Amino acid sequence: MSPQSEHGPLSDSAAGGLTNIEQFTVTGCLTPRRPWIVGLHPATRTALLFKPRCGMWSCPSCGENNKRRWTARIGHGAESLQNHNKSVKFLTLTSHPKLGAVASLAVFPQAFDQLHKRAVRAGGYFDYAKILERHKDGRVHAHMLETSSLDERWWKDNAAECGLGFEVDLSIIQSAAGAAYYGSKYLGKNLEDHAWPKSMRRVNTSRGWPKLPEYVKELGWAWFLLGKRDGLMDTISGMEEIGLTVLVLDYEGVGVLLSQTPPE
């Protein structure tokens, strides 16, 4: 059953692609003003109330969880592509050496888009997972796992012509573990950047980069958001009155009995 809210279905991929059950086992997110999510399981007459993770990279807890999930997807994608006899390469693209931090941020998206279109025309469609990194001086670089047939010389020449740097590094990834290590390394560096531009995505993929296997949906649960006008304690009391066992989950995922004070 799809989760529901007063505004319509609550997306299964909300808060970073985690299931509702997974979300309340993720620890440490203390971002304020998160909504309460209510889960009802009629067969066991159980109700769960918890606040989902915020999913923001700037959150110490959720940023780390984002890194882990993207690392898993990068490793899984590389393994899947290699199993289909595709060579996965490790490509680093740099900003033009004459551009400072502000200019490199402004130029990079358009320059990469132009370079990507050239690459597709030259070698055909290819898949990639791209991680952006800002160096300490603020200049942006891109680290990619990609499956194109193009060599390092092609990337050097065309990156420079599109407004990026001539400095390029290309090597073949030997294993999915190596791909996952690579993803974790550069995603981890991004976590240290507390002034990341809101308009730039830290990590993204081509449309064909394999996704993680779909999770098994929680059978028998119905989910909805607690309305802004619905008081938490009144909701809990109402559920108790109709005979439900109510658990309120704190940020560590520990069940709190109805008779105890729920977390703020």
Give the domain CATH number at 108.
Answer: 3.30.70.1910
- Regarding whether 9 and 108 lie in a shared domain, the answer is no
The answer on 168 and 116 residing in a single domain is yes
Residue 193 has pLDDT above 80, yes or no: no
- Show the DSSP H helices in the chain as ranges: 14-17, 20-23, 60-83, 101-123, 152-161, 176-191, 232-241
88 and 177 inside one domain:
yes
Q: Is 3 helix (H, G, I), strand (E, B) or coil?
A: coil
pTM value > 0.75: yes
What's the token pair of residue 73? 């997807």
Q: Is residue 213 part of a domain?
A: no
Q: Nearest Cα to 132, choosing from 167, 96, 93?
A: 93
Asked if residue 198 and residue 68 are part of one domain, the reply reads yes
Residues 50 and 64 grouped into a single domain: no
Tell whether 33 is covered by a domain.
yes
Rounded to 5°, angle at Cα 209 from 27 and 92 = 90
| pLDDT for the residue numbered 55 | 86
What is residue 156's three-state secondary structure? helix
Listed residues 205, 230, 247: the one ending a domain:
205
**30, 102: one domain:** no
Residues 110 and 232 in one domain: no
- Asked if residue 214 belongs to a domain, the reply is no
Q: Give me 9's structure tokens.
A: 């279905």
Phi-psi sector, 210: left (phi>0), alpha (psi -120 to 50), beta: beta
Q: What per-residue confidence (pLDDT) applies to 23?
A: 60
CA nearest neighbour of 38 among 232, 259, 220, 260: 232
Same domain, yes or no: 46 and 137: no
Confidence of residue 114 (pLDDT cuts 50, 70, 90): very high
Task: Give a yes or no: residue 211 inside a domain.
Answer: no
pLDDT digits (tens, 9 = 90+) for 142-180: 999 999 999 999 999 999 999 999 999 999 999 999 999
Same domain, 110 and 177: yes
Distance, in Å, from the CA atom of 49 to the CA atom of 262, rounded to the nearest integer, reads: 9
For residues 47 and 68, membership in a common domain is answered with no
Evaluate whether 44 touches 12 at the Cβ level (below 8 Å): no
Would 188 be classed as within a structural domain? Answer: yes
pLDDT (average), residues 43-62: 88
Examine the domain organization and report whether 8 and 31 are in the same domain.
yes
Domain presence at residue 174: yes
Q: Please indicate, yes or no, if residue 192 is contained in any of the structural domains.
A: yes
Q: Is residue 107 part of a domain?
A: yes
User: CA 203, CA 212: separation in Å to the nearest integer?
Assistant: 15
Per the structure, the complete domain to which residue 69 belongs is given by 60-205
| CA-to-CA separations, 178 to 121, 216, 260, in angstroms, rounded | 29, 28, 47
Cα distance between the two ends of the chain: 29
Q: Do 20 and 66 fall into the same domain?
A: no
pLDDT greater than 70 at residue 14: no
Helices (H) and strands (E) in the chain, counts: 7, 12
What are residue 40's DSSP bridge partners?
A: 47, 222
Counting the structural domains of the chain, the total is: 2
**How much of the chain exceeds pLDDT 90, in percent?**
51
